[in-house]
Chain A
Amino acid sequence: MKKTHPLGKIYAFLIMAFMYIPILIIAVYSFNSSNSTGILTGFSLKWYGELFKDKATLEACYNTIVLAITSAVTATVVGTVAALGIDKMKKSWRRSLLMTITDIPMMNPEIVTGVSMMLLFVFIGTFLKINGILGFWTLFIAHVTFSLPYVILNILPKLSQTNPNLAEAAMDLGCTPGKAVRKVILPAIRPGIVSGFIMAFTLSLDDFIISYFVSGPKFQTLPIRIYSMTKKRVTPDMYALSTIIFVIILIMLIIINMRGLKGNSKAKGRAKA
């Protein structure tokens, strides 16, 4: 591959600077000794201390992770099974209708998805006389719903790449259809499943707009907690929190990346051999 033009390098650097300036500001102010997010007075770690004393925020972190894991697992299971079914459907209006409906949460503005689900939940709540229906389950349903299209769209292309004869061959050799799916198809589409799961997980972690409309007082996620924090007097503990998140993500990605590189070189080595 050819070398990047110096102008290109400068451009890339500028874009990256643009993306990272706010993050840098966040990190710098998280060490501010005064309680301002505007005036720098000195270095201190006290906002990190305050953060770990703030039980509501810590609980929100925990809630966010619980929600992300449960909703991503559910979306992945339902989505994988659905993709298997959709793949077998012939190209017809039925299939394209289903695909269109599946895509709706992805295409629709998030605020409309949030509003529509809230209306549904509130309606169900008043209809069934459930007091305070908004909570973990409504968030869970909403998160599964907006994750599903991403899971399905990650898996479908992998399925169409798999040779249908493989499953047939397996069945001819005496496998039950279920076993054929497990032994032949699933391993072939595993990369799609994994990337679908990762997308569902991160979408759920980061979602604010939809959660904002369907969450209740008992179960607050981190983005919602942050939103209510920015509505109040903002102290740098919020910045401390995002600095920690940033560091964790950075470390995670570096580890994944290094593993990936190692895996790559191994694979290459094998190919050579």
Chain B
Amino acid sequence: MKKILCIIASVLVCAYSVLPAFAVDKPKDYSHLKGTEINVYNWGEYISDGAEGSMDVNEEFYKETGIRVNYTTFDSNENMYNKLKGGGANYDIVIPSDYMIARLIEEGLVQKIDFSNIPNYSNIMDQYKNLYFDPTNEYSVPYNVGLVGIIYNTKVVEGEPDSIDLLWDERYAGKILNFNNPRDAFALAQWKAGIDLNTTDPDEWNTAFELLKQQKPLVQSYVMDEVFNKMESEEAAIAPYYAGDFLIMNENNENLAFFYPKEGTNIFVDSICIPSSSQNKEAAELYINFLIRGDVALQNAEYICYATPNKAVLESEDYSLKDEEILYPENMDELVTEYFHNLDPQTQLVMTTLWDSLKIDGNENASIYIGLISFVAIVFIVVIVVAVRKKRRASYYD
């Protein structure tokens, strides 16, 4: 299915170049950027990479502009933030989510984009402009939007669940996965407890933490993109994850189903930004413009399977996911959704400390102490025995 689509899509890519609606007018000359490099830092599985006949976006960009793309991936916003903040590595493009962008702007880690280099910005739908994290539209260009939902295996889960309680259901102990990043994992507990996702009250964070702790014995593992393999191979049966990724999993395993929990769910926008440390800003802008160009965005939308903020894609005849209920739910207004906002440093510290203690907690603590103590005792006895024997032997020779 995907392959055929890709072939059609690639045929149409050629067609696009003739269609005036998508024709890219190049008012500026970028030939001086030829031979330069940009470092792109993106989520894993978040770009069409040429697998199974799709377009290799980075390669295509190189062919068109002569700019080489050093492409690396991260698996959570926090992971990305660390690399950017650490200062050891410099990037020209990063694609974080909303709340992280707010934080990056606040800390001056990203810089203003020159939109005159991004004529394709007109492709972005108005509803995704001027969002709370970048109210004046100066720092970010939306790449994908999405919701968090719950994926489950119909062979294992009985009935049609609609509540987040499924993740705490003891019947499925050992078959449940959870996010391996604090923000997403805490959000699930917060929905369950009816707490605001962006609360600054440490007690409320503690309540959520208690819920996660309670869930931990049921959790098989904390994962990010490992979720694909685990759900497809039916190693696990229940996992919260980003809606678009479910479509890919479903393609490989028909037993999987998906729902948005009635308690509510997190809505996110992943946008493209240019870090302040960028050393090739103009090329980065060229890359952004390339990513949101109709044909490229279409390829990405088909490959990544996330909902797109790109008009050109939605209006395209060849966009196969246009009527996909999961990406573009009809009852969007009925869904309870909330954005993550940037937390103040104090709350962040509360969250990461709680997350650390969730992760380090084990259930075999007592056996460790007993084991270690007996080991030390044995070693001690052996040392003494050896020493005594040595002494005795020494006195024997005397």
Given the contacts A50-B51, A125-B88, A132 and B73 also touching, CB distance less than 8 Å? no
Provide the A16-54 mask, 1 if CB < 8 A to any CB of B, else 0. 000000000000000000011111000000000010010
User: Would you call B229 and A234 a contact (CB within 8 A)?
Assistant: yes
Contact in complex: B225, A132 (CB < 8 Å): no
A85 within 8 A of B: no
* Complex: A119 Cα to B70 Cα, angstroms: 24
Comparing A176-184, A216-224, A240-248, A251-259, the segment that makes contact with chain B is: A216-224
For residue A30, give the distance in angstroms from its CB to the closest CB of chain B. Answer: 16
Contact B89 A217 (CB under 8 A): yes
Residue B206 CB within 8 A of the other chain: no
With A231-B75, A232-B225, A234-B229 known as contacts, the answer to whether A36 contacts B252 (CB < 8 A) is yes
Residues of B within 8 A of A230 (CB): 226
- Interface positions, chain B 37-89, Cβ under 8 Å from A, are 37, 39, 41, 44-45, 50-51, 59, 70-73, 75, 86-89
The answer to whether B87 touches A126 (Cβ under 8 A) is yes
Residues of B close to A134: CB separation below 8 A: 88-89
Query: Is A122's CB within 8 Å of the partner chain B?
Result: yes
Q: How many Å lie between the Cα of A216 and that of B89 in the bound state?
A: 5
Beyond A35-B252, A218-B70, whether A233 also contacts B88 by CB under 8 A is no
Within 8 A of B (CB), among A197-241: 214, 216-218, 220, 228, 230-235
Most buried by B among A50, A133, A218, A230: A218
The answer to whether A217 touches B277 (Cβ under 8 A) is: no
Is there an interface contact between B88 and A132, defined as CB atoms closer than 8 Å? yes
Chain B positions within 8 Å of A126 at CB level: 87
CB–CB A217/B73 < 8 A? no
Our pick among A56, A131, A233 for the contact of B228 (Cβ within 8 Å) is A233
Are A131 and B235 also in contact (CB < 8 A) when A216-B89, A228-B72 are?
no
A233 to chain B, nearest CB (A): 4
B152 within 8 A of A: no
* Bound form: Cα–Cα A132–B70 in Å: 13
Q: Which residues from B are CB-within-8-Å of A56?
A: 71
In the assembled complex, how far is the CB of residue A60 from the closest CB belonging to chain B, in whole angstroms?
A: 11
Contact present for B44 and A132 (CB under 8 Å): no
The reply on B258 being an interface residue by CB < 8 A is no
Assess the B88–A228 pair: CB atoms within 8 A. Answer: no
Check B233 against A39 for contact (C-beta < 8 Å).
yes
Q: Does B224 contact A (CB under 8 A)?
A: yes
A131 touches B277 (CB 8 A): yes
Q: Does B337 contact A (CB under 8 A)?
A: no
Neighbouring B residues of A220 by C-beta, 8 Å = 72
Contact of A133 among B88, B233, B235, B252 (CB under 8 A): B88
Contact pick for B44, options A35, A122, A232, CB 8 Å: A232
Contact of A55 with B by CB under 8 A: yes
Query: Cβ of B75: which chain A residues have Cβ within 8 Å of it?
Result: 231-232
Task: Check B229 against A131 for contact (C-beta < 8 Å).
Answer: no
Q: Which residue of B lies closest to A53 (CB)?
A: B50
Which residues of B sit under 8 angstroms from A231, Cβ to Cβ? Answer: 44, 73, 75, 224-226
Listed residue (B37, B50, B87, B232) with the most chain A CB atoms within 10 angstroms of its CB: B87
Give the interface SS of chain A, mostly helix, strand, loop or mixed.
loop
Contacts A217-B70, A233-B225; is A131 near B279 (CB within 8 Å)?
Answer: yes
- Cβ contacts under 8 Å, A214 to chain B: 88
- Mark out the residues of chain A between 99 and 124 whose CB falls within 8 Å of any chain B CB in the assembled complex: 118, 121-122
Cα(A138)–Cα(B228), bound, Å: 34
Within 8 Å of chain A (Cβ to Cβ): is B90? yes
A217: B residues at CB distance < 8 A: 39, 41, 70, 72, 89-91
Proximity bits, A39-77, B CB within 8 Å = 1, else 0: 100000000001001011000000000000000000000
Q: Mark B277-298, 1 if CB is under 8 A from A, else 0.
A: 1010000000000000000000
Residues of A within 8 A of B44 (CB): 228, 231-233
Contact B233 A38 (CB under 8 A): yes
Query: Smallest CB–CB gap between B168 and chain A, Å?
Result: 27
Q: Bound state CA distance, A73 and B257, in angstroms?
A: 56
Say yes or no: A233 contacts B277, CB within 8 Å.
no
| Bound-complex Cα distance A233 to B51 (A) | 12
Name the contact of B73 in the complex, choosing from A35, A55, A228, A235 (C-beta under 8 A). Answer: A228
Q: Contacts of A50 on B, CB cut-off 8 Å? A: 51
- Bound: A56/B59 CA distance, A: 11
Residue of B nearest to A124 (CB): B88
* A109-166 interface with B by 8 A CB criterion: 118, 121-122, 125-126, 131-134, 138
A216 to B88, Cβ gap below 8 A? yes
* Bound CA span A101–B260, Å: 58
Q: With A and B bound together, what is the CA distance between A196 and B279 in angstroms?
A: 40
Cα A38 to Cα B229 with chains together (Å): 8
Minimum C-beta distance from A261 to chain B (A): 42
Q: Is the CB of A132 within 8 A of B90?
A: yes
Residues 245-265 of B, flagged 1 when their CB comes within 8 A of A and 0 if not, give: 000000010000000000000
Please name all residues of chain A whose beta carbon is closer than 8 Å to the beta carbon of B71 when the two chains form the complex.
56
Shortest CB–CB separation between residue A174 and chain B, in angstroms? 53
Using Cβ atoms and an 8 Å threshold, which residues of chain B touch A232? 44-45, 73, 75, 225, 228
Report the minimum CB–CB distance from A104 to chain B (whole Å). 22
Which of A36, A55, A138 is within 8 Å of B229, CB to CB?
A36
> Closest Cβ of chain B: how far from A53's Cβ, in Å?
7
List the interface of chain B (C-beta within 8 A of A): 37, 39, 41, 44-45, 50-51, 59, 70-73, 75, 86-91, 224-226, 228-229, 232-233, 235, 252, 277, 279
A218-B39, A233-B228 given; 9 more Cβ-contact pairs under 8 Å? A50-B51, A131-B90, A132-B91, A132-B277, A138-B88, A217-B70, A218-B37, A228-B44, A231-B224
Of the A-B pairs whose beta carbons lie under 8 Å apart in the complex, a sample of 5, sorted by A's number, is A35-B252, A39-B233, A132-B279, A230-B226, A231-B224
Pick the 5 closest A-B CB pairs, nearest first.
Answer: A132-B90, A38-B233, A233-B228, A232-B44, A134-B88
**Chain A residues proximal to chain B, CB less than 8 Å:** 35-39, 50, 53, 55-56, 118, 121-122, 125-126, 131-134, 138, 214, 216-218, 220, 228, 230-235
